[in-house]
Every structure is written in C-alpha cells, then in structure tokens.
Amino acid sequence: MVKLENMKNISLSDSVINLDHGDPTAYEEYWRKIGDRCTVTIRGCDLMSYFSDVNNMCWFLEPELAEAIKELHDAVGNAATEDRYIVVGTGSTQLCQAAVHALSSLAGTQPVSVVAAAPYYSTYVEETTYVRSGMYKWEGDAWGFDKKGPYIELVTSPNNPDGTIRETVVNRPDDDEGKVIHDFAYYWPHYTPITRRQDHDIMLFTFSKITGHAGSRIGWALVKDKEVAKKMVEYIIVNSIGVSKESQIRTAKILKVLKETCKSEAENFFEYGHEMMKNRWEKLRGVVKESDVFSLPKYPEAYCYFFGKTLGSYPAFAWLGTKEETDLVNELRRHKVMSRAGERCGSDKKHVRVSMLSREDVFNVFLERLANMKLIKSIDL
C-alpha cells in the first residue's frame, strides 16, 4: 500500500509548479511552531463600525495596528516613523495606487509621468494603466526618461525582481517637479542587511512579505506630507471605504509577537527567515553553477545593524538568466515551471523572475527540474 506522503510526492513531482507569483508560504512552519500565541478571538458584536479612530486623519486605521507598526520599525531599525502619518491599505498595491493618485492630483500639470528603472516590478505597469486615468501616465523605464514636466519615480529597494539595492535614477538638478515613492516591501533583515534607517517622503510596506501572511491583505505607508496623506486616505475611502478591521487586528497581534521575539535566540523570526533564505540561495547557486547555462546576480555583503554583523543578501525572488539565445519563460514552462517573463519587467526573454518563497517541497522540485533542463535555442529573439 502506497503511503499518503509518498502519493503527495509522486503527485508533486509530475505537476506544474507556479513560481510566477510571490505567494509566501515558505514561512508556514515557523508560525505553526508559534502555535496559539497569534490567535485572535473576534465576537459577533466586535468591529462593526466603519470607524476606528475618528481623531485620526486615517480614521479606519486601528490604533493597535498603528502602535504595532511603530514598535516593529523601531525594533528593526529599518524606517523612521516619527512625524509621519500612517496610512493603512489593502496591501501595498492599493497604497501605491493611492500614492500615485495623491501626487498626481497635487501636481500643477497633468498627466504626470510615472517611471521605474528596469528591471521593475511588473505590476507597476498594470497599476498605472488599468483605469486609464487622465491624471498620470506610465512612461516606462526611468533609465531613459527625459520628458519635461512633473513625474513620479517608483523605487523598489531591494528591487523586485532582481534584488538589487536601488536609489532614484531620474535626478534632475534644481527640479522640484519630481516625486518619489519608495517601496520597501523587502527591506527586512531576512532578505537584506539593514544598513540604515530609511527616511523618505513616502515609504510603502506590506505585511505579506514580512511574515508571509499574504491572505490578510494589509500594507501601510509612512507619509511625511499631510496633504499627500490626506489625498491617499481619500482615495482609499472611495476605492474600498477603509480597510478590513479583522485583518488589521490579526496583523497587529502578529506584529507584536514578531517584535517580542525578534531579539530571542530561539524564536527570532528574522533569524529563522534569514537562515532559510540563505540555505535556499546556496542550493540554487549550486545548481546554477553546475549547469553552466544559467546566471544569477551577485550581491555585495554589508553590515547589518539589526544582526550586528556583515551579511549577504538573499532576495525573495531570483532573477534567473540564461547564457543561451532562448526564451527562458517558455523553456521553464516546458519543464512545468511557471515563472514571470523578463519582458514584463522591462527586460528581455533571457531573464525570468522566480519566487523563492514557496513551500520547501515545491522549491526542491524546482531545483531538480532546473538541474535537468536542456535549453532549446531560439531563432526569434
């Protein structure tokens, strides 16, 4: 009789694995060990009102979530929270749209150009083109942007998809028309060394990529300017009339546990995540080295103030390239591996984005298939 576990392995070995989306199920085992400490009980009579704090500009932000956000950033040391407005959103996707809307509505001339340096997060294109707004317009790669007038540059650091540390690219002297939105979804110590306390006008963070709780759909923005924050809140009110209180309460509970354990040797989530990501990257680099047809970016080491030592970077996504003249996303698909095409990120067919955040068994199947791949050269690049 075939055991259930063996049946599962047989099924997985023959199935299509999806590493296109960054579904962060890799952290399930850690939270399973934490047990009931993150359990939240919500009665039928709780959280019924639209309003959380009528004295706050962002009146749908639960006070305990605001407190948990500040405490976690203070403990990790990755972002300044003083003298800032916290705007909560349904993931950082909604917050990015809200920030683009806010900055565009306050600009003197429209449409405002929106750019990001390639390779960029592919969803930025969809976020800025889907509603066909007349207030802003996607202008593509920031490296070649030279259009006059107001613009918004989206800076993701560490970058999605290639994991590099990013700064602004469009730096015009004496130009006050340019605005920047900094996306720090991956600026946490399990992915990259915390080299400084970030201090920018608009900084976006997402619950999903910190802890893996993507299903809660919670993100937050730290905003300096009151008018920008007000416009972002207005956008979210029109778009979704606030943000789920149940999700906020759960997020607050988990962030507090995260903060309480982040200095613990036995339960430090960031230590757990760092070791897991390091192990996965070492395995992937080993397969790539043996293949002699694939490539991966190299990341410099840096001193991490959170861990108190020099460390490497282990991004949430692998920017996998090939030395052959081939369409890599189709080659991986031929081996039942779904990935994100480099062309969607402003790059080329020889690169793909692969999620490093899948469950362990899925990641191991990916490594096995990658090691056995033989590429077919393309004549139509």
Segments making up each domain of the chain, as ranges: 2-32+268-380, 48-261
pLDDT digits over 337-354, tens only? 999 999 999 999 999 999
**What one-letter code names the amino acid at 156?**
T
pLDDT of residue 379: 43
CB 113 within 8 A of CB 149: yes
pLDDT of residue 374: 76
**Residue found under tokens 């003249």:** 325
pLDDT of residue 310: 98
User: In the structure, what pLDDT confidence band is assigned to residue 292 with cuts at 50, 70 and 90?
Assistant: confident
Helix (H) or strand (E) holding 330: helix 328-334
Which residues are CB-contacts of 203 (< 8 A; sequence separation ≥ 6)?
A: 79, 182, 184, 221, 222, 223
For residue 85, give the nearest of 100, 74, 101, 69 by alpha carbon: 69
User: In the structure, what pLDDT confidence band is assigned to residue 6 with cuts at 50, 70 and 90?
Assistant: very low
| Residue 72 predicted with pLDDT over 50 | yes
Mean pLDDT across the chain: 94
pLDDT digits over 212-265, tens only? 999 999 999 999 999 999 999 999 999 999 999 999 999 999 999 999 999 888
d(CA 245, CA 243): 6
| Residue 62 predicted with pLDDT over 80 | yes
**Residue found under tokens 């939240």:** 40
Helix (H) or strand (E) holding 309: strand 309-311
Domain 48-261 belongs to what topology? Aspartate Aminotransferase; domain 2 (3.40.640)
d(CA 273, CA 190): 5
| Residue 167 predicted with pLDDT over 60 | yes
User: In the structure, what pLDDT confidence band is assigned to residue 73 with cuts at 50, 70 and 90?
Assistant: very high
pLDDT of residue 108: 85
Structure tokens at 284: 């992937």
Q: Is 334 helix (H, G, I), strand (E, B) or coil?
A: helix
Q: Measured between alpha carbons, how far is residue 183 from residues 50, 79, 159, 192, 363 in Å? A: 28, 12, 9, 14, 26
Structure tokens at 333: 């698909």
Helices (H) and strands (E) in the chain, counts: 11, 15
Among the CATH numbers 3.90.1150.10, 3.40.50.300, 3.40.50.2020, 3.30.565.10, which is that of 2-32+268-380?
Answer: 3.90.1150.10
d(CA 33, CA 38): 11
How many residues are listed for the chain in this entry?
381
| Residue 14 predicted with pLDDT over 90 | no
Q: What is the distance between the terminal CA atoms of the chain, rounded to a whole angstrom?
A: 50
Q: Is 155 helix (H, G, I), strand (E, B) or coil?
A: strand
pLDDT of residue 2: 37
What's the mean pLDDT in 33-58?
A: 97
User: In the structure, what pLDDT confidence band is assigned to residue 135 with cuts at 50, 70 and 90?
Assistant: very high
Q: Measured between alpha carbons, how far is residue 203 from residues 80, 184, 220, 316 in Å? A: 10, 7, 8, 19
**Residue found under tokens 């890799």:** 26
